[in-house]
Structure 1
Amino acid sequence: MKRRELLQALAQWIGLGGIVGVATGAASALFLWLLDLATDFRTGHHTIVWLLPLAGLGLGWFLERFGQRVLPGNNLVIDTIHDEGPEIPLRMAPIALFGTVLTHLFGGSAGREGTAVQVGASLTDWIAHRLRVPPPTRQQLLAAGVAGGFGSVFGTPVAGIVFGLEFVTLGRIEYRAIVPALVASVVGDMVTRGLGIGHTHYPAPPVVPLTPLLLLKWLVFAVAVALVTIAFIELTHLIKKHGRRIRSLPVRMFVGGVAVVALWQLVGTDDYLGLGIPTIVRAFEDPGLPAYAFALKLLFTAITLGVGFLGGEVTPLFFVGAALGNVLAQLLGLPLELGAGVGLAAVFAAAANTPLALSIMAAELLGAAVFPHVVIVCVLAYLLTGHRSIYPAQRLTSGKGGAILPVPRALRDLGQPPGPEDPDRR
């Protein structure tokens, strides 16, 4: 490519990435502001959680009537990037945004990344179609939209860049989209912060040098992370599979809401509702955190998302990972902050097959001292989790054992190909 053509392409990507960044950053700011309002209201009015089943009934009716096209969520985004499918409906943005806020308002255990990715991708695809960009450019812009949404909603622009390039295909980074992803994520984060939105600060782990004994401890740590990640993925998929026996989505979500409320009453605390950020921070500092906290959050989240409530997995899995890391740190003789920090990143890295993005995210959130440790555990847990994912539409081009596939295959197709009624393929 000649220098002039290179400069023209760079200018185009900066311009398009900037537009995507402004859109995703503004949407993330609105989303996080509304999410804070919903969380504050719920924590001040605990009795609203009793209405979660009715909220599920109403939200399920709305989704069944107006949101069928967008129900696959992040899987629709991945399929569109790979298959050059039809335009992602713009209504995915408000449905994902307000549906997630309602989930949190009534106490569902869900996260933010799914909403950020879906809002970013739907806004970006609307922009791409209005500008009539060619299909290859559209694919790269969609990756930029994912990066902008992820980076701005967590305040981690570098991790946002890598996540947008890494989460689409297992084991491969889509470098073709690196410039627009970089611009969109950095601009998106700047816009969100510029609109007055702050992010959670976590205690920084101490500097701990690597030793042979510490490497052995991290191997044990990674095995535990992989087992917990597998449990979450399989339980969530199991709930989705058996939940479909209730053909009515509103009824399914009503039943799931009843289950969450029953668990809430059984455990006698609000700690496992919503995002659970106070408990995540507590995991860095409190050796008295219940050893079973990670398992309860896993169960609350699997039920909430498995029956159809809207939201992402990142923050609940941060909770699961940090609480698990708290326990493992005490068992293995690791600093509490380091164990919680590594666990926070590693569980989601394994669940989403994004070890690089989450290693970088940990460094952005916790400081450089965590980086060598979190890379080791994220990569090991990623390998040990096998060909599983919270995003079954992720494509596989080569197995984690090194085998090369003749054609890319979605993870959901590795066993028995799903039928036409599989909601992840609609």
Structure 2
Amino acid sequence: MKQENKSLEQLTVAYQLLRWTLLVLPVAIMVGSLVALFLWLLDKATHYRFEYGWLLYLLPLAGVLIYWLYRLGGKNAEKGNNLIMDEIHQPGGGVPARMAPLVLLTTVITHLFGGSAGREGTAVQIGGSVAGWIGKKLGLTARDIRILLMTGIAAGFGAVFGTPIAGTVFALEVLAIGAMRYDALVPCLIAAVLADIVCSSWGISHTHYHILYTGVSSSFVPFLKTDFLLLVKVILAGVAFGLTGFLFSWMIHAIKYNANAYIKIPWLIPVVGGVMVILLCYVVGTRDYLGLGVYSQSPDGVSIINAFSGTSTISDWSWLWKLIFTAITLGMGFKGGEVTPLFFMGATLGHTLALLLGAPVDLFAGLGFIAVFAGATNTPIACTLMGVELFGANNVLYYAIACFTAYYFSGHSGIYSSQRLVVKKYNQ
């Protein structure tokens, strides 16, 4: 009898695997294709902004347009990623299908006119919107829709960065601090891998980052292959990365709260935000902190790519300027994600810390890239895996130490207000 039960269990597993593959397939195809379209439009918008610098002065008007687009057709889609997370935690009104086109359009508008924002939030919202729509059309149960929404998050994240493994774990890890539910593990993996394949099939390529540092043996204990002095430096940097993630999370929430509290006319909020961004460009004397920041208009400008080299254009405070630009942009009503700006903050801060501590610049830029993100989103495992997918596995020990340290020092807050606290990071 026991053997029969085991055989039946395996058949059930096989059935569920086949069922979820069929359910996830349309999600992955649609999300991968929409993310490909989004990335193509984003690239075009960035090049147009570089070519026509006067577009920046229309940023306040672009903010008004974004406000009215959501006012006329957005409804609860305004909540963005938090709406998807709320629906996974406690099913309610569902994730509207209009979220995908709205966030795609408004994010491109934000980037075209010079807002400092990212792309992860848009991709995740596209994924959640598509998954929610398919779940409703198929008449799935609330439990199945919950899992399908998680596959949408994984598909969007995996496709937009080209990191399907990190996308899988991110979808499981981001919902709650200190806990992961594995019932969606395989569906999320299928969705992330397929969406990444579909996105790449459209001819979309992702930025490649390189860490040339391969590690050296400890000078104190030669037979050990770990540089303990470097480990100490990584831990110190991890603390700084975690505090940066905390500062960004606090600032973006504070700006959003105070803007709504003190600016009584809602459509004026993005107008004020747009003016502030324009003025900040004059204060810092550069436009390198606008847009994604993956690369700059000038080959030697401040950017994520240049943070991995020893270029002198990156100042000690480049990370802070990007933090301020992004917090104002997103806190004042413009659309886009937070993650790529977090990459920028982390990479430039890592660059600065490497020069200060006498550490490898490319390694510390890479550590900051993933660790500030880990601290701000409370997803250290996903970010460690992202490091492996983006930079290779040679320095995985340092990735983990930086991400886990940043996770602890970022506190219990994060950029997602709907993220739940299940297990505290420390005993009190």
Q: 1:371 aligns with which of 396, 399, 408?
A: 396
Moved over 6 A (4+): none
Separation of aligned partners in 2, 1:230 and 1:168:
18
Q: Is the 8 A contact 1:64 1:249 kept in 2?
A: no
Q: Name 2:273's counterpart in structure 1.
A: 256
Separation of aligned partners in 1, 2:200 and 2:311:
33
Q: Is the 8 A contact 2:82 2:417 kept in 1?
A: yes
Q: Name 1:15's counterpart in structure 2.
A: 22
Q: Name 1:413's counterpart in structure 2.
A: none
Q: Displacement of 1:287 after TM fit? A: 4.1
Q: Name 2:254's counterpart in structure 1.
A: 238
Separation of aligned partners in 2, 1:247 and 1:189:
43
Aligned length: 403
Separation of aligned partners in 1, 2:385 and 2:356:
26
Q: Is the 8 A contact 1:205 1:369 kept in 2?
A: no
| Structure of greater Rg | 2
Percent identity, aligned pairs only? Answer: 46
Q: Name 2:169's counterpart in structure 1.
A: 162
Q: Is the 8 A contact 1:205 1:366 kept in 2?
A: no
Q: Name 2:103's counterpart in structure 1.
A: 96
Separation of aligned partners in 1, 2:74 and 2:363:
42
2:366 match: secondary structure:
helix
Q: Displacement of 1:5 after TM fit? A: 1.8
Q: 2:306 aligns with which of 253, 259, 282?
A: 282
Q: 1:115 aligns with which of 122, 133, 152?
A: 122
Q: 1:222 aligns with which of 226, 238, 241?
A: 238
Q: Name 1:408's counterpart in structure 2.
A: none
Separation of aligned partners in 2, 1:155 and 1:83:
30
Amino acid at match of 1:151: G
Q: Give deviations 1:286-337, integer Å, cap 9, x for gaps.
A: 3412111111100000000001100001110100000000001111111110
Separation of aligned partners in 2, 1:97 and 1:369:
36
Q: Give deviations 1:114-172, integer Å, cap 9, x for gaps.
A: 00111100100000111111111111111110000000011111111111111111121
Amino acid at match of 1:98: L
Q: 1:326 aligns with which of 316, 341, 351?
A: 351
Q: Does 1:176 align with 2:192?
A: no
Amino acid at match of 1:152: A
Q: Name 2:386's counterpart in structure 1.
A: 361
Q: Name 1:410's counterpart in structure 2.
A: none
Separation of aligned partners in 1, 2:237 and 2:211:
19
Q: Name 2:57's counterpart in structure 1.
A: 50
Q: How does 1:18-417 map to 2 (within 5 A)?
A: 18-209=25-216, 210-245=226-261, 246-278=263-295, 279-288=303-312, 289-402=314-427
Separation of aligned partners in 2, 1:189 and 1:6:
25
Separation of aligned partners in 2, 1:248 and 1:196:
44
Q: Is the 8 A contact 1:205 1:341 kept in 2?
A: no
Q: Name 2:4's counterpart in structure 1.
A: none
Separation of aligned partners in 1, 2:399 and 2:243:
17
Separation of aligned partners in 1, 2:34 and 2:161:
13
Separation of aligned partners in 2, 1:161 and 1:235:
28
Amino acid at match of 2:252: T
Q: Name 1:420's counterpart in structure 2.
A: none
Q: Give deviations 1:154-194, integer Å, cap 9, x for gaps.
A: 11111111111111111212211011101110000000000
Q: Is the 8 A contact 2:62 2:113 kept in 1?
A: yes
Q: Is the 8 A contact 1:52 1:258 kept in 2?
A: yes
Q: Displacement of 1:225 after TM fit? A: 1.0
Q: Give deviations 1:86-137, integer Å, cap 9, x for gaps.
A: 2211000011111100000000000001001111001000001111111111
Amino acid at match of 2:249: I
Separation of aligned partners in 1, 2:311 and 2:109:
33
Separation of aligned partners in 2, 1:247 and 1:191:
45
Amino acid at match of 1:303: I
Q: Displacement of 1:60 after TM fit? A: 1.2
- TM-score normalised over the length of structure 1: 0.92
Q: Name 2:221's counterpart in structure 1.
A: none
Q: Give deviations 1:211-255, integer Å, cap 9, x for gaps.
A: 332222122111111222221111111101100022333210000
Q: Give deviations 1:337-380, integer Å, cap 9, x for gaps.
A: 00000000000110000111111111111111232101101011
Q: Give deviations 1:63-83, integer Å, cap 9, x for gaps.
A: 223223111111111100000
Separation of aligned partners in 2, 1:248 and 1:25:
38
Amino acid at match of 1:131: L
Q: Displacement of 1:399 after TM fit? A: 0.8
Q: How does 1:414-425 map to 2 (within 5 A)?
A: none
Q: Is the 8 A contact 1:287 1:326 kept in 2?
A: no
- TM-score normalised over the length of structure 2: 0.92
Gaps of 5+ in 1: 404-426
Q: Displacement of 1:402 after TM fit? A: 4.8
Q: Is the 8 A contact 2:215 2:227 kept in 1?
A: no
Please identify, of 242-251 and 373-382, the stretch whose mean Cα deviation from structure 2 is larger: 242-251
Amino acid at match of 1:22: I
